Structure 1
């Protein structure tokens, strides 16, 4: 629900009432808008066929069942046609290698919902080493971020009576040992940050009420998130407290007895500890130990030496103009390093030795596609899972060990016919001269006539990188119909490391939108498409991107899909988790910051009489991260002004927009059908 406003401010926002998430008047308005969208988009047989095909893809038994190794078993959460909410299950490696493994079902979420009269959505499992019998299961009502945690016995396949239970809230529960957990949650008044996340973490002992849990650390109300965890690596057992002041602004503490020892590294650095090693991923320049390290570098040192005051680091990675760190994963004896070079992955193995860290390419890793390597069991082995994907090649899952070539375990089938398609990378020039990459998926012999329906997708925020991946839904919903699909790697993302993200923060936010406009213009200049056939799509921060592209560059696009968006940047920090994003966008309550924020607040910049692209807004009533009021109010304002707009709000789904495959298929079909209706060439354009 919205915060009570002064009368003057409320008068400036006639649609404030739509912020009442479950208010009956607001929900009746939603119901009317949904019916209008269903009639406009989903009434025909063509839509039903698309929705059916998309659901069949989501329900397919041929999907890759990704697994997590815990003990001797490999665990998987699985959804299909018969199990819409899903199964938590496990198998052995020998079985997993088979085309049709035998699975042992531990929790049937559909059956649980039926028995309890609930609408639980799976949020994850945390099982206690070494036997992994005691598990903390997180479940969300309708897919919201807020969830409950319940204790489960995986051996007996039953919920533990009087076991650990955390009531519904944003937060978590994590093992220390069989009789103790860390709990960070809503403990009552004063226990949450202004963003709605935990500001206290406590140690809770079995058999006692949560209200008697012992306080370990309390942050400030202005902080983002407080949490704690236990590292049970044999021989390196440690306890940590993490204090996130904001995104990319955090402190890490080692818990020693009743006290805390701070890791004295920059707050902006990502900090992690593996066995004896402290790893720091820098986001700002750092002068230490007589050396100057640049942002984007990954440094390593012995933790004990660091705590003793030494500041000698090995550089495991240093960026260049075209390279950035895409991630790393520690095995028992090595570090798997994932590097992006112009948004293309390269994998390396780093091995510590007496003379520093040796580096070599990961043996047998493919040279093309989106690559991701993750350790299977970092406590005991150097095995890793390797995922290989691109836009038109079905994803493959491989199993390897350092020093040996990986072998394929699983592969997706071809969910759409990619014959004749090719992936190409291009570079546009932004307003300030910056080189902006983008990927294009289109027919190899695409005639450059400016008439191809083209879907341009972007995000541009929070250092999130958009990389090539196989999307069966985009393939069926767009590419197989002859559309061109484009991903823009604009500033604000992480494609070139921290500098790419920081270039579009706060007062520089418009650079992300200038980049996106440059990609759109390049597509038009290259005659891939034209304004009449160019559509855009984005969600969350990408929804803010879409809102701004429509209001700032209305002449570039014909249609836009704006999903679970931020749009009212005057009030975003007062709605749900919005206050946690002020490091990204700025504080609209400060007049000097609102002076620049207002330029990228679509809700305040949309005008009557302007010819805007046709728009479809989608969101979820159960989204407790980005308030549905953003989309509701923007829709109401644009509708009042007479623009061509449609709106669809799914009741469940949280920030993901859908709680099961049926809902996801419907939401996807609405987006693709809406865009195709407006972007496909008309008969007279295709006539000889």
Structure 2
């Protein structure tokens, strides 16, 4: 192939249905000047330009990048401030978020721990009750941790006796965590503080210590850039410094391997799940905590990174797992470690639905499954017999169902596009459910209709999507501006959940659509495999076919389709905008992976080779080159309006991806519609973002997408 410069038309065949390259189109707004270097590299005989590589530098330490960010944000906010619906959307999102929200209760030592947000708190608080009907008591209030509200309570686990609590703190949206310990009786923090924790569980061993995972301390100044290696599991005893924590498991001969530890509810076994990437392919190790003595004798249970294994729990010496070994849609198996030669035994076979998770509550298995991307839940005896379905509230998502053998109480949440989460308490033995906490809403859920449709992708594959509209619009059949959302990767299933931002779009008179693209986990391993590595184009074809279906069937007018995706979904949006710019009116690629030739060079990017392939292997590199958003911007075509969103502290998908893509987009001749970037400060990939920032970003994005797709809310 000939050398290809960033911002030029591809010197290769275009996807079917793509418009032909036309004459140059008018330029967009006057963008800030961006330095363009002459850097090129040759890979597998092809020379590829990378003129904006300097934008990969950390904005906190590179003054030129910081100045670029400041100039881009100034332009973007000036443009967004002129949008007539911005204030309306901001007011709507704020009103829709202003209701009391509760997390799932966790029982320990007769106490119930749960999160609570009164509505517009920047971060949820952690409360505790003495008994189910006790008076709530405040344990942790993250609002007091940082003036800007950007320090969040990420995770927490009470000790078995309920007297202590280990919790993780996230600052500025980073993936790094620090762990701290609270005395529940007094509500006061202990001196314990653990650093350089990432991708970790928190599993108590007795009531005096816990297992966690961390990386070595990175080199100075590399906290948010360097690739992460040598993950290890440690044991921390309360009251001792981190420097004396006991190493439980490390694999220095396999530095790319990650390890996460869990402990069964009876405290009998620690199970360590190891992985080498983002694929659900694990090795299993087990530690008998009751007979271990002073050391940490690790017993290999499953070798080879071949299948998905998810610990359910143990009773006596028998452990239960969910696995996709010999079952692409997963099944339940068990193993008795007391046997001389332990054997895996099938408990619940694979069925048509995809098994997502399971727990043991009382003397029953609780199985959470997906049927066409919506939840169904059933219970069974521990031997897999006597199935009984738990009735849910229609098309939606049910989650939770934590518990333990011997105690029939569990809690779960049910939500859908038109219904914020209601928390239920369920007695598994009787099957009786009661409401623990229900939201008080500023709208009537019945005013909105959730519908599932199936469309046909380019290769004939049948793909589902959910369509949400007001009942009045659904009854009239009138086409309206539509926001289409997708992800399509990493075995992640998109299911119906409530979003105040999406509801604001619906109340403005638009339709919201979520497509369940290949690459996700909605239909098990085969669905995931069909949308990754050398099959990634299927994901883009599915998304394009979804947009064509919505136009052809009168859900949205031509020129009324806006698209949105985050992370891997940001890659999706960037790719389809390049391939079919004529199909979309506006696009929001959020925190996207936009340089597919260098994604593995930063922080967690090296894990993504399972889904994307290896940039250092020729076949993979050539395929990545065909769709990498940064490298495939097509000058001479009229692009939709694009608002890129990212954050300065995103150390999952480093913001350099979005910076480079935006610079290339602004430099190309791709039409007069604006191509802007909004860069949040003191925020990361999304988790832990303060409520105020969520509202501001939501208002900006919706106002932008609405303006360019023709949606005008009634003022």
TM-score grouping bracket, smaller chain normalisation: 0.7 to 0.9
Q: Is the CA contact (8 Å cut-off) linking 1:47 and 1:669 kept in structure 2?
A: yes
Q: Distance in 1 between matches of 2:433 and 2:103?
A: 18
Partner in structure 2 of residue 18 of structure 1: 55
Of 644, 647, 654, 1:620 maps to 647
Give how far 1:419 is off.
5.6
Q: Is the CA contact (8 Å cut-off) linking 2:170 and 2:688 kept in structure 1?
A: no
Q: Distance in 2 between matches of 1:294 and 1:186?
A: 34
Of 270, 286, 289, 1:254 maps to 286
Of 152, 168, 178, 1:148 maps to 178
Partner in structure 2 of residue 72 of structure 1: 110
- For the residue of structure 2 that corresponds to 1:246, the secondary structure is coil
| Structure 1 moving runs of 4+ over 6 Å | 189-194, 447-450
Q: Distance in 1 between matches of 2:478 and 2:95?
A: 33
Of 258, 278, 291, 1:225 maps to 258
Distance 1:499 1:474, change over 3 A: same
Q: Is the CA contact (8 Å cut-off) linking 1:171 and 1:198 kept in structure 2?
A: no
Give how far 1:183 is off.
4.3
Gaps spanning 5+ residues in structure 1: where? Answer: 97-101, 287-292
Partner in structure 2 of residue 675 of structure 1: 705
- For the residue of structure 2 that corresponds to 1:357, the secondary structure is coil
Q: Distance in 2 between matches of 1:625 and 1:552?
A: 26
- For the residue of structure 2 that corresponds to 1:259, the secondary structure is coil
Q: Distance in 2 between matches of 1:489 and 1:495?
A: 7
**What's the CA shift string for 1:329-366, capped at 9, x where partnerless?**
221211111222222332211102xxx42132235x13
Q: Distance in 2 between matches of 1:430 and 1:170?
A: 38
Q: Is the CA contact (8 Å cut-off) linking 2:424 and 2:434 kept in structure 1?
A: yes
1:580-595 alignment to 2 at 5 Å? 580-595=607-622
Q: Which moved more, 1:214-223 or 1:554-563?
A: 214-223
Alignment root-mean-square deviation, CA: 3.0
In the superposition, the TM-score normalised over structure 1's length comes to: 0.87
Give how far 1:106 is off.
1.5
**What's the CA shift string for 1:168-197, capped at 9, x where partnerless?**
442546432454443432334799998415
Partner in structure 2 of residue 471 of structure 1: 499
**What's the CA shift string for 1:396-454, capped at 9, x where partnerless?**
22212122321223222333355653222111111111100111112445488885101
Partner in structure 2 of residue 290 of structure 1: none
Q: Is the CA contact (8 Å cut-off) linking 2:363 and 2:408 kept in structure 1?
A: yes
- For the residue of structure 2 that corresponds to 1:557, the secondary structure is coil
Of 371, 374, 396, 2:400 maps to 374
Of 157, 160, 171, 2:187 maps to 157
In the superposition, the TM-score normalised over structure 2's length comes to: 0.84
Partner in structure 1 of residue 660 of structure 2: 633
Give how far 1:523 is off.
0.8
Q: Return the structure number with greater relative CO, CA threshold 8 A, min gap 6.
A: 2
Q: Distance in 1 between matches of 2:322 and 2:304?
A: 10
Give how far 1:586 is off.
0.4
Q: Is the CA contact (8 Å cut-off) linking 2:204 and 2:263 kept in structure 1?
A: yes
Partner in structure 2 of residue 390 of structure 1: 416
Q: Distance in 2 between matches of 1:516 and 1:189?
A: 39
Q: Is the CA contact (8 Å cut-off) linking 2:411 and 2:423 kept in structure 1?
A: yes
**What's the CA shift string for 1:222-278, capped at 9, x where partnerless?**
5241233443x33x5122333212221221111254432111366312231512343
Q: Distance in 1 between matches of 2:361 and 2:590?
A: 38
- For the residue of structure 2 that corresponds to 1:631, the secondary structure is helix
Q: Distance in 2 between matches of 1:6 and 1:591?
A: 24
**What's the CA shift string for 1:447-501, capped at 9, x where partnerless?**
888851011111111111111223232112x111110111101101111111111
**What's the CA shift string for 1:294-346, capped at 9, x where partnerless?**
322313223326x63343522414133xx211322221211111222222332
1:253-652 alignment to 2 at 5 Å? 253-256=285-288, 257=292, 258-264=296-302, 267=305, 268-276=307-315, 277-283=318-324, 286=325, 293-304=326-337, 308-311=340-343, 313-320=345-352, 323-352=353-382, 356-363=383-390, 365-366=391-392, 368-372=394-398, 374-402=400-428, 403-418=430-445, 420-444=447-471, 446=474, 451-476=479-504, 478-643=505-670, 644-652=674-682
Give how far 1:620 is off.
0.9
Q: Distance in 1 between matches of 2:507 and 2:362?
A: 44
Q: Which moved more, 1:500-509 or 1:461-470?
A: 461-470
**What's the CA shift string for 1:87-146, capped at 9, x where partnerless?**
2222245447xxxxx4211122222436xx99522112222222x222222112212110
Partner in structure 1 of residue 691 of structure 2: 661
**What's the CA shift string for 1:52-71, capped at 9, x where partnerless?**
3323433x243345432232
Partner in structure 1 of residue 153 of structure 2: 122
Q: Which moved more, 1:518-527 or 1:381-390?
A: 381-390
Q: Is the CA contact (8 Å cut-off) linking 1:586 and 1:593 kept in structure 2?
A: yes
**What's the CA shift string for 1:34-56, capped at 9, x where partnerless?**
22222222345642232133234
Q: Which moved more, 1:266-275 or 1:206-215?
A: 206-215
Q: Distance in 2 between matches of 1:310 and 1:153?
A: 41
Distance 1:598 1:327, change over 3 A: same
Give how far 1:156 is off.
1.3
Distance 1:649 1:299, change over 3 A: same
Q: Is the CA contact (8 Å cut-off) linking 1:222 and 1:245 kept in structure 2?
A: no
Partner in structure 1 of residue 243 of structure 2: 211
Q: Distance in 1 between matches of 2:149 and 2:509?
A: 42
Q: Is the CA contact (8 Å cut-off) linking 1:205 and 1:213 kept in structure 2?
A: yes
Q: Distance in 2 between matches of 1:229 and 1:328?
A: 15
Q: Does 1:201 align with 2:233?
A: yes
Gaps spanning 5+ residues in structure 2: where? Answer: 1-36, 43-47
1:58-137 alignment to 2 at 5 Å? 58=97, 60-80=98-118, 83-92=121-130, 94-95=132-133, 102-113=135-146, 119-130=150-161, 132-137=162-167
Q: Distance in 2 between matches of 1:213 and 1:245?
A: 24
Q: Which moved more, 1:216-225 or 1:78-87?
A: 78-87
Partner in structure 1 of residue 87 of structure 2: 48
Q: Which moved more, 1:640-649 or 1:611-620?
A: 640-649
- For the residue of structure 2 that corresponds to 1:358, the secondary structure is coil
Q: Distance in 2 between matches of 1:225 and 1:348?
A: 32
> How many matched pairs?
651
- For the residue of structure 2 that corresponds to 1:223, the secondary structure is coil
Q: Is the CA contact (8 Å cut-off) linking 1:123 and 1:138 kept in structure 2?
A: yes
Q: Distance in 1 between matches of 2:83 and 2:561?
A: 23
Q: Is the CA contact (8 Å cut-off) linking 1:152 and 1:158 kept in structure 2?
A: yes
Of 186, 189, 192, 2:215 maps to 186
